[in-house]
């Protein structure tokens, strides 16, 4: 079988993988704090006979992440937070401590501050954050949490603690299959007091819908080209076999 068939097939497989990541990004264009996935590929020389400098294969490396900050959207909601600049919120998931830029928090039936998935948001001392029933919550720019109970006067404001904000090196973060970011080997990042938040705001996805649509179209066209090469290769092989059979 012609070697070009394998080369084109390999290219088509990489395009399908890239298309899946682009499609996933487009589906999350309205997901709070979502970070764009980057499909990274590298050329690999072919092994065996019939080698040529221009005949190479490709393999996918670890999927990267575009860490640029998304646009800030004001919501006015007391439990919404957005990080200014670099930094991450720390939450407790079933697989351990994880990090996110999504600050659309809420209070569950146990009066614990959680993510929309129900995971507890961690405080600076690595504990859950309990919100008094019917309390009015306020976040300061450094993540400190204060609450005024129902019927209390302003002098009765309680300080509940401080939300855990971390800033590990981006190269140390690994994106899990569940979409959460974690440090390698289950390590835990230390709180960073220099991170600032914007109460009443949310960070939008950093996906550009226009760029994602262009990427979808471009990938589809390249895939069609690879399929055309495979089709032409099969046709040429059949013609070659017909000529040989006449002899």
What ranges do the domains of the chain cover?
Answer: 3-67+216-246, 72-203
- Angle 30-19-115 (CA atoms, 0-180°, nearest 5)? 30
DSSP labels, 106-154: EE-TTSBEE-TTSPBBBBTTS-B-B--TT-EEEE-TT-EEEEE-TT--G
How do the pLDDT tens digits run along the chain, 247 residues long?
456 766 777 777 777 888 888 888 899 999 999 999 887 666 666 666 555 566 666 666 667 888 999 999 999 999 999 999 999 999 999 999 999 999 999 999 999 999 999 999 999 999 999 988 777 889 999 999 998 866 666 667 888 889 999 999 988 999 988 889 999 878 999 999 999 999 999 999 999 999 989 988 888 888 888 888 877 777 766 666 676 665 5
Helices 209-246, 3-27: inter-axial angle, 10-degree rounding: 160
**pTM (2 d.p.):** 0.78
Nearest residue to 124 (alpha-carbon basis) of 168, 155, 162: 162
- Neighbouring CB atoms inside 10 A of 37's CB total 20
Which residue's structure tokens are 């919501």? 75
- Neighbouring CB atoms inside 10 A of 122's CB total 24
Measured CA to CA, the distance from residue 54 to residue 162 in angstroms comes to 58
Tokens of 72: 């800030």
């Amino acid at each position: 079988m012609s070697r070009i068939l394998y080369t084109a097939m390999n290219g088509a497989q990489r395009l399908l993988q890239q298309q899946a990541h682009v499609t996933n990004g487009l589906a999350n264009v309205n997901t709070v704090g979502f970070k764009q996935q980057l499909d990274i590929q590298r050329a690999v020389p072919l092994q065996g006979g019939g080698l040529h400098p221009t005949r190479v294969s490709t393999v996918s490396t670890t999927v990267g992440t575009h860490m640029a900050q998304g646009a800030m959207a004001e919501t006015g909601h007391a439990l919404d937070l957005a990080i200014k600049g670099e930094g991450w919120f720390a939450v407790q998931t079933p697989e351990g401590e994880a990090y996110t830029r999504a600050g659309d928090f809420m209070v569950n039936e146990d009066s614990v501050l959680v993510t929309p998935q129900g995971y507890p948001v961690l405080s600076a001392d690595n504990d859950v954050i309990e919100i008094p029933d019917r309390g009015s919550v306020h976040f300061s720019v450094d993540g400190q949490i204060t609450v005024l109970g129902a019927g209390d006067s302003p002098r009765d404001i309680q300080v509940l603690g401080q939300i855990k904000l971390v800033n590990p090196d981006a190269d140390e973060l690994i994106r899990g299959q569940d979409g959460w970011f974690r440090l390698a080997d289950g390590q835990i990042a230390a709180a960073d007091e220099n991170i600032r938040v914007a109460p009443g705001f949310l960070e939008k996805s950093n996906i550009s819908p226009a760029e994602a649509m262009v990427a979808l179209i471009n990938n589809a066209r390249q895939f069609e080209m690879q399929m055309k090469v495979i089709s032409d290769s099969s046709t040429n092989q059949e013609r070659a076999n017909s000529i040989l059979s006449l002899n």
